[in-house]
Amino acid sequence: MTDIEFICESVADIETDLLVTYYFENGPSIEVPGLNEAAKAVDAKSCTGARTVLPGTGTKARKIALVGAKADELHSRRNSDFSNGIELEGTGIHRHLAAIGTRGLEAKNVVLAGKYENEDDVIQAGIGALLGCYTIQKYGDEKVTPLDQLTICVPQGLNTHTMAKRIKVLASSMMMIMDLVNRSPNDLYPAKFATYAQQAIAGLPIEAEIWDENKLAEEGCGGILAVGLGSDRGSRLVKLSYAPQNASKKISLIGKGITFDSGGISIKPAKGMEAMKSDMTGAATVLATTVAAAVLGLNVKIDTYLALAENMPGGRAQRPSDVITMRGGKTVEVINTDAEGRLVMGDALALAAETDTDAIVDVATLTGAQIVGLGERTAGVMGTANMRDAIVASAAQVGEAMWSAPLPSYLLDSLKSDVADIANSGTRAGGMMVAGVFLQEFVADKPWAHIDIAGPSYNDGSPWGANNKGATGMSMLTLVNWAESLA
DSSP string for residues in 227-286: HHTTSSS--EEEEEEE--TT---EEEEEEEEEEEE--TTSPPPSTTGGGGGGGGHHHHHH
Catalytic residue chosen out of the listed positions 277, 327, 342, 388: 342
Could you say which DSSP state residue 202 is in?
T
**Number of residues that make up the chain:** 487
Report d(CA 190, CA 308) in Å as an integer: 5
Task: Count interface residues toward ligand BES (CB under 6 A).
Answer: 15
CB nearer to ligand BES: pick between 23 and 260: 260
Exactly one of 17, 179, 261, 333 binds Mn ion (CB under 5 A); that residue is 261
CB nearer to Mn ion: pick between 251 and 369: 369
CB nearer to Mn ion: pick between 14 and 454: 454
CB nearer to Zn ion: pick between 279 and 310: 279
319 is annotated as an active-site residue: no
277 is annotated as an active-site residue: no
Which of ligand BES, Mn ion, Zn ion, none sits in contact with 368, Cβ below 5 to 8 A by type? ligand BES
Radius of gyration of the chain (CA): 23
Sign of CA dihedral 408, 383, 78, 110: negative
Sign of CA dihedral 344, 195, 459, 68: positive
CB nearer to Zn ion: pick between 114 and 373: 373
Of residues 203 through 262, those in contact with ligand BES by CB under 6 A are 261
Secondary structure of residue 95 in the 3-state scheme? helix
Q: What share of the chain is helix, strand, coil (3-state, %, to 5)?
A: 35, 25, 40
Query: Hey, what amino acid is at 191?
Result: A
- 66's CB contacts (< 8 A; 6+ apart) are 21, 22, 23, 28, 39, 44, 51, 52, 53, 54
CB nearer to ligand BES: pick between 243 and 429: 429
Exactly one of 27, 244, 313, 368 binds ligand BES (CB under 6 A); that residue is 368
Contact characters 328-347, Zn ion, x per CB under 5 A: -------------x------
- Sole window of 58-66, 177-185, 254-262, 465-473 interacting with Mn ion (rule: CB under 5 A): 254-262
Is residue 17 a contact point for ligand BES (CB under 6 A)? no
Contact characters 224-263, Zn ion, x per CB under 5 A: ----------------------------------x--x--
Is residue 452 a contact point for Zn ion (CB under 5 A)? no
Is residue 340 a contact point for ligand BES (CB under 6 A)? yes
The CB-nearest residue to ligand BES is 368
- Sole window of 89-97, 181-189, 212-220, 362-370 interacting with ligand BES (rule: CB under 6 A): 362-370
Is residue 425 a contact point for ligand BES (CB under 6 A)? yes
CB of 311 to Zn ion, least distance (A): 7
What region, left, alpha or beta, does residue 10 occupy, with left being phi > 0 and alpha being psi -120 to 50 degrees?
left
Residue 211, H or E segment: strand 206-211
Report d(CA 152, CA 20) in Å as an integer: 10
Exactly one of 17, 87, 120, 279 binds Zn ion (CB under 5 A); that residue is 279
- 253's CB contacts (< 8 A; 6+ apart) are 286, 289, 290, 302, 303, 304, 305, 360, 361, 362, 363, 479
Report d(CA 155, CA 125) in Å as an integer: 14
The CB-nearest residue to Zn ion is 261
Query: Hey, what amino acid is at 305?
Result: Y
Query: Hey, what amino acid is at 240?
Result: L
Report d(CA 431, CA 411) in Å as an integer: 9
- Sole window of 31-39, 40-48, 58-66, 258-266 interacting with Mn ion (rule: CB under 5 A): 258-266
Of residues 440 through 479, those in contact with ligand BES by CB under 6 A are 454
- 454's CB contacts (< 8 A; 6+ apart) are 364, 365, 366, 367, 368, 370, 371
Contact characters 308-347, Mn ion, x per CB under 5 A: ------------------------------x-x-------
CB nearer to Mn ion: pick between 14 and 309: 309
CB nearer to ligand BES: pick between 169 and 276: 276
Evaluate whether 227 touches 343 at the Cβ level (below 8 Å).
yes
Is residue 101 a contact point for Zn ion (CB under 5 A)? no
Which spans of this chain sit near Zn ion (rule: CB under 5 A)? Answer: 258, 261, 279, 341
Residues tagged active-site: 268, 342
Q: Which residues bind Mn ion (CB under 5 A)?
A: 261, 338, 340
Instruction: List contacts with ligand BES (CB under 6 A).
Output: 261, 279, 336, 338-341, 365-369, 425, 431, 454
